[in-house]
Chains A and B, each alone.
Chain A
């Protein structure tokens, strides 16, 4: 009741300000006139009565002011006044205002942009019901075979055992990816399909928008011809037709029935790249044979924790089940564990360190911007001492001065925040453009309400942080001193200059830390760009020749098809050589398989050594310019029926036959046991997953023509990628190449057409972008630090004009004066650098995971950056120093 009356009276008074004022006037006037009338009635002459009424009433303005205060309009009033005053002072100092607002805008903008990324990627819950209960479950591989690999995809039999034996999860589902070509109506298009076992939608607590989910019977092998469409596919390919449910569509030449359409927000698995989102879901139907497979691990697994079960309890149970399975199936499961990871952590674990480093970097930039603005404000506070003193003399209270000084920086910060928001808007667009493929959930990055609240919050915080020190100093100014000293040129304001020195030293230290971070990334990228990938990427164009499963009934037919493709492509003018491989270098795809070497004791599969295995065609090594180090390349004579020919990588030769010639050694591939194979040549190591691979993966290549039946699996088509080396720019020959392939067979889609140079550059794009971002932030920090040094030195010189004049008059040379100023600046820079280096030494190890063959304490980077900073400080102090040098002693002495 009373609270409401207060608020409403305050609102009335504030909003309907003029009415309150006129009523107040009327009320007071009535009072005085009524009193005067009473006096007149008592015999006082009218003039005298009015005079006495006014006199006895007291100070009218004073009364009104107290009335306003009683109504609570006072606070809003002074705030408004302060803001108006602030705007006026700022307009009078446009240079200062522009510098301060820009510094704050850059700092706040950088923070807003990075926060909006962090918010979408790390903070916002996944788009599922109670997403914190969702877990991703992985195998943990034996470290002997997979050193450094923390998790592994899952085999069907192990998944089924986990699912039946656990009591921790409400449900568990396995899923895998596939590509299906849709034909029949309109243009053929390759679509991304996710096949999942029973229970996926139940685990995600998701419902189709239209139609239904899959029925139990639809998970039986041979009956799995149903699909759910993604909302995007439904809108784009099927024009949002609601009658699509129940209709048949042709996928890979087979008939599938659309049973439903998922909602727009549904996305599984969650992906940031719109070009990687699943477009369809189908039931995963394993044959009895496939259900028993334990040694081929290719599926992802998700699960939902039961209510009341903790992550820890679930993990303990998974450990127990894994131990049991390892005992029951030592051949397959020995050394293989299971690990449950919260879905969000699983999704973002790769990018979290980089994002946190960037967040730290922008926080430092903002700190520097704060210090800078505080510095500028301090300089202004000192030059406004007289104004402050006069206002104090006129009765302004300390609190009032403090409030006014603070509202000035707050005004600056809000202006900076607004401009920063505009910067962030463009920053976010850039970030999404460059990082969409590497950043999970990048499609969710936006300047939403949380981000706006964040920006407002840091703007206000920044305003307070930057304004408090100068405001305190301003309010503390000693009235008598200030008035006595006039402009205060000779004033010994040691406290003020000490504060400013501390601020500049911290600016230098912070920007040095950022520069070192950026420097380390630049070094790392430089090293990466000069890493030999093992092949020559120039003038090579690659594409996936995505033969739909089921297109060829027999392997030999597909081998024949690829032979015809190669023949046609090689005959094209401008093509130098061409070859095929199942997984291209730098793609990160490809299989990893156990092998047994002849002459070594037989062992169960779990104990066999494993290597990367690639299928190639003759001519692949030539097209990629992968050097042959020993023996011979595979050629057209290596066909079915001939002894199996193998090429192995240098690292494989070294690890298997360290002191022997590997050529001529016999070995058997565990999954292709029917053909005995012999090493015919050794080739150079190639970067398989990324340019920043530190250990080459031992790799074995065998010709597609000598493919033999896969152990424990039916024949499926093998997607191969074509690599073509051209004589001129590869893209000029590209149309002829794709044309030749389509002429061979029009139903085979070509995917991921790109040059090898692009693949190399794409493999480095996250590093490059992180480097550019951190570099930009560091550059910003440096700029702010330079402004800081410059302003401190300028101020110091103008304050010491008198002293300098005396020195020159007493015989100091211009050089002495230059040195005097520069020495002071360099001292500040040196102290700042020392602190910065100490800080960088303790913080840079946080960056270790982002660096490639560069130590976090890399001396070259540290020294280069420190020298750079000293040079820049020198330059920043040069202008003020020159001004000091030109001081005319007579003018300086007259100055007072």
Chain B
């Protein structure tokens, strides 16, 4: 039970960073953007978004401030900090390397092993 959550958490952090890297968003907006980018293929438990947001803010990757939403309501907006930007780039590279590696291993034919 614990392990899949961990894995998801790590991924969720990257998705959040990606979402806010395109511009400031409130929590619900982040959820919508992730679903939009993933073309609805990714299901995210809505509540789990917030602990991740708080953690990222606590670590200094994102910052928040209160602003007005598209329908004139007060909402908390998150944006990427400079440190978050570097972090996101590093994470993205790491992820790509890892993905290539895993893909390479998984696609290996018996002859290659």
Contact = CB atoms under 8 A, between A and B. Distances in A.
Interface stretch (B14-22, B57-65, B93-101): B57-65
A4 B26 CA distance: 24
B66 to A, nearest CB: 8
A110 B60 CA distance: 48
Interface string B53-91: 011011110000010010101111000000100000000
A30 B26 contact: yes
A70 B60 contact: no
Given A27-B76, A31-B27, A5 B47 contact: no
A31 B48 CA distance: 12
B46 interface: yes
Interface in A3-54: 4-6, 9-10, 23-24, 26-28, 30-31, 33-35, 37
Contact of A2 (B28, B31, B52, B59): B59
Contacts of B73: 30, 33-34
A37 B70 CA distance: 12
Contact of B28 (A30, A66, A67, A70): A30
Contacts of B27: 27, 30-31
Contacts of A426: none
A5 B59 contact: yes
Nearest to B48: A58
Nearest to A23: B76
A57 interface: yes
Nearest to B60: A5
B76 A1 contact: no
B109 to A, nearest CB: 43
Nearest to A31: B28
A62 interface: yes
A63 B50 contact: yes
A6 B47 CA distance: 23
Contact of B58 (A6, A24, A58): A6
A24 B27 CA distance: 11
A288 interface: no
Contact of A6 (B31, B48, B51, B59): B59
B107 interface: no
A1 to B, nearest CB: 6
Given A2-B59, A37-B71, A30 B76 contact: yes
Given A70-B51, A70-B58, A35 B26 contact: no
Interface in B30-58: 31, 45-48, 50-52, 54-55, 57-58
Given A1-B83, A31-B27, A31-B28, A66 B46 contact: no
Interface residues of A, number: 31
Contact of A5 (B48, B51, B58, B71): B58
Contacts of B58: 5-6, 9-10, 70-72
B51 A67 contact: yes
A2 B46 contact: no
Contacts of A729: none
B83 A57 contact: no
B85 to A, nearest CB: 13
Given A2-B60, A30-B75, A62 B28 contact: no
Nearest to A62: B47
Nearest to A66: B51
A9 B64 CA distance: 12
B47 A57 contact: yes
A67 B50 contact: yes
Contact of B47 (A10, A34, A60, A72): A60
A660 interface: no
Interface in A62-95: 62-63, 66-67, 69-72
A69 B50 CA distance: 12
A28 B50 contact: yes
Nearest to B81: A5
A56 interface: yes
Nearest to B87: A2
A66 B48 CA distance: 9
Contact of A56 (B46, B57, B69): B46
B76 to A, nearest CB: 5
Given A23-B76, A34-B28, A57-B46, A1 B60 contact: yes
Given A35-B28, A58-B46, A69 B59 contact: no
A66 B51 CA distance: 5
A71 B54 contact: yes
A28 B49 CA distance: 10
A59 interface: yes
Contacts of B71: 34, 37
List the 6 closest A-B pairs by CB distance, nearest first: A5-B60, A58-B47, A66-B51, A70-B54, A70-B55, A63-B47
Interface of A: 1-2, 4-6, 9-10, 23-24, 26-28, 30-31, 33-35, 37, 56-60, 62-63, 66-67, 69-72
Given A2-B83, A10-B58, A34-B26, 13 more contacts: A1-B60, A1-B83, A2-B60, A5-B59, A5-B60, A6-B59, A9-B58, A31-B46, A37-B71, A67-B51, A70-B51, A71-B54, A71-B58
27 contacts: A2-B59, A2-B60, A5-B59, A6-B60, A9-B57, A9-B58, A10-B58, A23-B66, A24-B50, A26-B74, A27-B27, A27-B76, A30-B27, A30-B28, A30-B69, A30-B74, A30-B76, A31-B28, A31-B31, A33-B73, A57-B46, A63-B50, A63-B51, A67-B50, A67-B54, A69-B51, A72-B58
